[in-house]
């Protein structure tokens, strides 16, 4: 069993509660471990129940924290609202929301089926907007709360041959910065996490291979957690990815096109 850090934010009687979408694997699961070390009650959301239950078992066993799972396909219309209702019906008060679930698509724009783009946009943009809006209202009422929206370094540029994905992350980053501005006066901290390539199941899901130089999800999560808790606006784990942000957009765009262009094009 892993020993818990004592969180300065821990409520006197109850545990703080964190809801993490896409918490069954990759960056989301590593973030869940960081919260667990601080003794948070964890609520995990994903579309696959089996993977969720596996994550729950591991967290409960290793960190001795309460874990609940919510099986929802957030790429489907109305599911984010239903998730919110289910969490409320179970009597949870969410102190921290992590909008992490996301998928990518790779290929020539005209070749990618529209249904895939639609699912990506629902999951990467609509679900975080719905959940931010609903939980923000409650957090404003309590004058406290934190929201972490997982964007990407792809948010800083266009992404040829992965156009919808990069655009969705640009949307989420811009949205996050705007809501952060509004939320300050209500005592709520809204932050953006912009990881570079990270070694998770993300690329396999997009029918691709994890690029060389990818960071481990564990390193991404521990860096992100520390800076999120300090209220940093934009968090980019990894010095090389922070430096890459300074590179001219035209060059980065050409590099992405070169890397992602299908072999046949
Ligand atoms: N890996 C990278 O290089 C990288 C870089 C920058 C940003 N990011 C971002 O980081 C976030 C996490 O990605 P990851 O790399 O950790 O990938 P991952 O290991 O594939 O994890 C994705 C998580 O999202 C869940 N998910 C996928 N589709 C879902 C749906 N329709 N409804 C609900 N949950 C769903 C997955 O569980 P189920 O499949 O069971 O639903 C899983 O828990 C994403 O927003 C991604 O865009 C990743």
| Residue-level pLDDT, tens digit, the chain, 265 residues | 665 565 545 554 589 999 999 999 999 999 999 999 999 999 999 999 999 999 999 999 999 999 999 999 999 999 999 999 999 999 999 999 999 999 999 999 999 999 999 999 999 999 999 999 999 999 999 999 999 999 999 999 999 999 999 999 999 999 999 999 999 999 999 999 999 999 999 999 888 888 888 999 999 999 999 999 999 999 999 999 999 999 999 999 999 999 999 876 5
- Whether 166 maps to a domain, the answer reads yes
What's the pLDDT score for residue 263? 77
CATH of the domain at 233: 3.40.50.720
| Domain that residue 248 falls in | 17-260
Question: Closest Cα to residue 22, out of 74, 83, 96?
Answer: 74
- Whether 211 maps to a domain, the answer reads yes
What's the pLDDT score for residue 13? 54
- Whether 6 maps to a domain, the answer reads no
Beta bridge partners of 44: 20, 69
Q: What share of the chain is helix, strand, coil (3-state, %, to 5)?
A: 50, 15, 35
What's the pLDDT score for residue 10? 54
Q: How far is the CA of 25 from the centre of ligand 1 (A)?
A: 7
- Whether 2 maps to a domain, the answer reads no
Catalytic positions, please? 165
Domain count, the chain: 1
Q: How far is the CA of 12 from the centre of ligand 1 (A)?
A: 33
- Ligand 1 site, residue 78, Cβ cutoff 6 A: no
Backbone angles phi, psi at 42, to 5 degrees: -110, 135
Q: Is 244 left (phi over 0), alpha (psi -120 to 50) or beta?
A: alpha
- CA dist., res. 225 & res. 235, Å (int): 9
pLDDT digits (tens, 9 = 90+) for 83-102: 999 999 999 999 999 999 99
- Whether 174 maps to a domain, the answer reads yes
Instruction: Report the nearest atom of ligand 1 relative to the CA of 76.
Output: 31
What tokens appear for 256 in the block?
Answer: 């992405």
- Whether 5 maps to a domain, the answer reads no
- B/e letters for 102-129, b = 16+ CB within 10 Å, e = fewer, are bbbbbbeeeebeeebbebbbbbbbbbbb
- Whether 48 maps to a domain, the answer reads yes
What's the pLDDT score for residue 212? 87
- Ligand 1 site, residue 22, Cβ cutoff 6 A: yes
- Ligand 1 site, residue 46, Cβ cutoff 6 A: yes
- CA dist., res. 168 & res. 127, Å (int): 12
């Amino acid at each position: 069993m892993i020993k818990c850090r004592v969180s300065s934010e821990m409520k006197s009687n109850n545990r703080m509660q964190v809801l993490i979408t896409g918490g069954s694997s990759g960056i989301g699961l590593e973030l869940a471990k960081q919260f667990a070390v601080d003794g948070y009650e964890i609520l995990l959301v994903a579309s696959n129940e089996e993977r969720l239950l596996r994550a729950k078992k591991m967290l409960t066993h290793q960190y001795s924290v309460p874990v609940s799972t919510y099986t929802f396909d957030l790429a489907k219309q109305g599911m984010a609202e239903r998730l919110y209702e289910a969490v409320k019906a179970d009597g949870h008060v969410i102190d921290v929301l992590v909008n992490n679930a996301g998928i990518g698509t790779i290929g020539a724009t005209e070749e990618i089926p529209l249904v895939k783009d639609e699912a990506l946009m629902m999951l990467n943009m609509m679900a975080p907007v719905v959940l931010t809006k609903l939980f923000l209202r409650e957090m404003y009422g309590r004058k406290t709360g934190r929201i972490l929206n997982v964007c990407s370094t792809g948010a800083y540029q266009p992404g040829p041959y992965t156009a919808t994905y990069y655009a969705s992350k640009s949307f989420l980053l811009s949205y996050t910065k705007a809501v952060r501005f509004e939320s300050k006066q209500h005592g709520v901290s809204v932050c953006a996490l912009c990881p570079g390539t990270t070694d998770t199941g993300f690329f396999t899901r997009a029918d691709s291979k994890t690029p060389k130089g990818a960071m481990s999800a564990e390193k991404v999560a521990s860096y992100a957690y520390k800076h999120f808790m300090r209220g940093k606006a934009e968090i980019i784990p990894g010095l090389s990815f922070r430096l890459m942000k300074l590179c001219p957009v035209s060059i980065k765009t050409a590099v992405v096109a070169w890397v992602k262009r299908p072999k046949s094009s």
